[in-house]
């Protein structure tokens, strides 16, 4: 089969590792909470709407429903996207900033290769040598034009799958990792469920049309967000052009990324295109500006690159990530019978991403789940710090006891 390549000396492709950095943009209303001050006793007993610094004591019976992703107040059709389904997600927090048919099941086309690459990178070794099978070489549509018996490393195959969208490379990856394409697909579906992608079902590793092969804008954003935390994945998907080295025969193949957003949007740094008649034009895109990364997904979008750019620009201009609590920050005083209250601190940082207009609608409260009894261990979970946007709970972080409290054999508290 024809293969565009030129002979060069053997070499390695060095991929630039990208950091997964974000910056916070705290609103003035959160300054005290982020600064390490604890809510006053009066505030903890309050029952009115609170600033993020404030909190209220709530009994365990009054627990609300599990948190859901925050959604900006901007209507989904205000940007007049051509996409049938779209989502904009903050890569650090996972908050949904913009939504349109986010859970609608659609053919994902080659955006499927995001999951294939994730498993290839997690379960394989970059330098392991793969021999192309006859089955892999027979795969059609977008390919690397692989021939049976050719040899190249797993890393090169993953690069070919993500940059050139090689369907044949995906089958070769699947067979190398799992022994068969069918077993690899089982692993893909298992991984999707572990990531929370419940609107996804794969039947192949490359996205070729099948009525039982589907995903959603939200699920693809979850997968991309996860993949971008893998340095090699992030490095490959940001490449405009590169080359892969075949070991047998000893040749080099030039690759050009199918993601045109990398050329026409200066902050773009990934991720994957996809196109079939069933799926239409699709794009999972990422961009990083001033340390903050956003992920945009547009499915069945005639103007996929324009849609993605609109979403990303809107996200950087109209939304922000806000810190409400730092890890280890004292968030309240846990009442202990017979002695002074014990400070309770946040188990981890609390950060949310949402539109700037919605920041003023945030509120927070402390919920004491543990009955006030002794002994109390240091680091024991005594409650939780909840962040709300109206009636929607956005975050819930465990609160831990700062010190231990017990009674000696004479009944004295110590």
Q: Is 51 in the active site?
A: no
Residue 310 · residue 81 · CB < 8 Å = yes
The C-alpha atoms of residue 235 and residue 247 are separated, in whole angstroms, by 22
- In this structure, what DSSP letter does residue 73 have? S
Q: Which of 100, 113, 164, 365 is catalytic?
A: 113
Q: Which of 70, 72, 165, 216 is catalytic?
A: 165
Q: Which residues of 362-388 are buried (b: 16+ CB within 10 A; e: fewer)?
A: bbbbbbbeeeeeeebeeebebbbbbbb
Q: Where would I find the beta strands (DSSP E) of 277-341?
A: 280-289, 292-299, 319-325, 330-334
Edge-first strand listing for the sheet containing 280-289: 96-100, 85-90, 292-299, 280-289, 268-276
Residue 133 · residue 172 · CB < 8 Å = yes
Taking the alpha carbons of 157, 124, 15, 87 in that order, is the dihedral positive or negative? Answer: positive
Q: Which of 110, 215, 216, 401 is catalytic?
A: 110
The C-alpha atoms of residue 283 and residue 147 are separated, in whole angstroms, by 29
Q: Is 113 in the active site?
A: yes
Q: Is 72 in the active site?
A: no
297 contact partners, CB below 8 Å, separation of at least 6: 85, 86, 87, 89, 111, 217, 218, 220, 221, 224, 282, 283, 284, 285
Provide the annotated active-site residues: 110, 113, 165
């Amino acid at each position: 089969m024809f293969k565009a390549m030129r002979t060069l000396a053997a070499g390695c492709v060095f991929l630039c590792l990208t950091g997964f950095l974000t910056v916070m943009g705290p609103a003035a209303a959160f300054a005290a909470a982020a600064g390490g001050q604890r809510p006053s006793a009066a505030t903890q007993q309050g029952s009115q709407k609170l600033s993020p610094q404030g909190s209220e004591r709530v009994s365990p019976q009054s627990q609300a429903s599990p948190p859901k992703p925050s959604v900006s107040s901007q209507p989904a059709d205000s940007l007049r996207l051509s996409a049938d389904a779209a989502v904009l997600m903050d890569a650090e927090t996972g908050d949904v900033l913009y939504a349109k048919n986010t859970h609608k099941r659609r053919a994902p086309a080659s955006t499927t290769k995001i999951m294939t690459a994730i498993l290839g990178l997690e379960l394989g070794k970059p330098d392991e040598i793969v021999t192309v099978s006859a089955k892999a070489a027979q795969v059609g549509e977008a390919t690397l034009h692989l021939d049976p018996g050719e040899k190249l490393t797993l890393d090169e195959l993953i690069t070919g799958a993500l940059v050139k969208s090689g369907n044949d490379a995906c089958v070769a990856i699947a067979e190398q990792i799992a022994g068969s394409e069918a077993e690899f697909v089982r692993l893909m579906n298992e991984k999707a469920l572990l990531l929370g992608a419940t609107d996804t079902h794969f039947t192949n590793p490359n996205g070729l049309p099948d009525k039982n092969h589907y995903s959603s804008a939200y699920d693809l954003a979850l997968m991309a967000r996860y993949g971008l935390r893998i340095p090699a994945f992030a490095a490959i998907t940001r490449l405009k052009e590169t080359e892969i080295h075949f070991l047998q025969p000893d040749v080099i193949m030039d690759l050009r990324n199918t993601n045109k957003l990398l050329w026409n949007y200066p902050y773009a740094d990934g991720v994957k295109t996809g196109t079939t008649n069933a799926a239409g034009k699709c794009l999972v895109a990422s961009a990083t500006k001033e340390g903050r990364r956003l992920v945009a997904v547009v499915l069945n979008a005639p103007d996929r690159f324009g849609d993605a750019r609109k979403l990303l620009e809107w996200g950087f201009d109209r939304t922000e990530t806000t810190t409400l609590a730092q890890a280890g920050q004292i968030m309240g005083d846990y009442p202990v019978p017979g002695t002074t209250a014990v400070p309770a601190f946040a188990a981890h940082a609390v950060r949310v991403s949402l539109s700037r207009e919605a920041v003023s609608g945030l509120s927070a409260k402390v919920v004491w789940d543990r009955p006030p009894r002794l002994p109390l261990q240091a680091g024991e979970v005594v409650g939780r710090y909840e962040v709300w946007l109206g009636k929607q709970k956005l975050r819930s972080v465990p609160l831990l006891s700062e010190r231990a409290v017990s009674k000696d054999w004479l009944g004295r508290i110590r």
